[in-house]
Structure 1
Amino acid sequence: MHDTLLGWPEVYWVAVQAGCAVVGLIVLTLYTIYTRRMMKLAEQTKRASMTPTFSVTKQNISGPTFDPATLRPFVDKRFTPPRYIFSPSFTVRNVGQGPAILIRCWHQGVSSGFTLRDSIRLLPTPISEPGTVNKQDLVKDERCQASFENADLTRPWLFVIEANDAAKGTNQLQILMRPRREDEGDGPEYITHWVMMYGWGDTIAERFVAAATRFVQVIKAIEKMVNDLDSRDEH
């Protein structure tokens, strides 16, 4: 057996092969990262071309109106202040590239610690009340008005305007309105914040995420059912 190849020891060529393998792995990793970023950019570009984006161009507040149904002066010997209701409305404009389809809205009161997050889709609760919109579909640069009734703006209040996009995703404009505190100085009587939440649609990547989420939900449901059956057998 020869322990040399082309005049070089075999251990040298083993080291060269190992080095080439490491370099190949690094190149493959960099190529994978680059390809992933390009796919993500293409996906975002595709989403942007069919996703609506709402912007509040005007807000109006009617009221307050006294709600006689809440006039209960003494409950357990404690004074309960009467409730005053407001009727706010928001004019929103679609500044996105995609159309907004099947626009609807709802609202409800929230706690003082509630914050908006553009990554979380909000769902109506049993205390939510529906609002009304004067248009159900908007293309780029078109406007619609969302109107709400029975909002108690003496406390933080949440308003949600949502619509589908061309990829069947649900997108939400989340608006949080609260009264200005005395320590916040001069300014509007009510402080308004809003964020835009973009939902999953019907693109390939979004189908994969939705399918994976659904799979996890099914597995958890089966696990819960098995645990319930085991607990029944024990009793």
Structure 2
Amino acid sequence: MKLLLVEDDAMIGEGLQQAMRAHAVYWAKDAMQAEQAIMQEVFDAILLDIGLPKKNGIEWLTEFRKAGNQTPVIVITARDAVEHRIEGLDAGADDYVLKPFAIEELEARLRAIFRRKEERLTNQIEINGVVLNTANYTLSAGALSHRLSSKAFAIMYHLMSQPGMIFSKSQLEEKLYGWGDEIESNAVEVHVHHIRKKFGQDIIQTIRGIGYAFPDKKE
């Protein structure tokens, strides 16, 4: 994967280049260098700091999107206020990571972005032989295939969008709120139970005392 890192902090820039040696990471220290890099190379994704000198990351990203560029962008910043996150997303960011962050989290967010991109092209998420069709809410695993309710679909969609990531009950409830009526206290457990009844216990992992996850590897 070819990545463009736009970051003025030398420690972070050097650290990310070292930690992400599995990828080709081009490091631009300001917006001007980033623009030059984009004219010369095609990148799979961009890691963008907000607090850049001369032209800040939000300004640069806004212009980047207005020019029609659709390369996925993850904003990386120490600004943790909600309004800053909203500003970045409204400017066209695909995701948002707060400093300090673990490299594993950044890698997971990159994978999630490309899964969403693939989903837009194919209308499905496929992981380890389990397929979630986002057009008709159908979940398939081996010879089994069932259409899910909207709320069961919402749970599987968020779990499969970030396999291996643990979602607490409250986090999944927040996802369900966007899908209709007020949620009962045991709504998540009920929908997880119904999904497991159709596809087996292993379709969703329970991490005791923490929450739920979609397994990111075959056992």
TM-score past 0.5 threshold? no
TM-score interval for Structure 1 and Structure 2 normalised by the shorter chain:
under 0.3
- Higher strand content, 1 or 2: 1
Name the structure, 1 or 2, with higher relative contact order (CA <8 Å, separation 6+).
1
TM-score, normalised by the number of residues in structure 1 = 0.21
Larger radius of gyration: 1
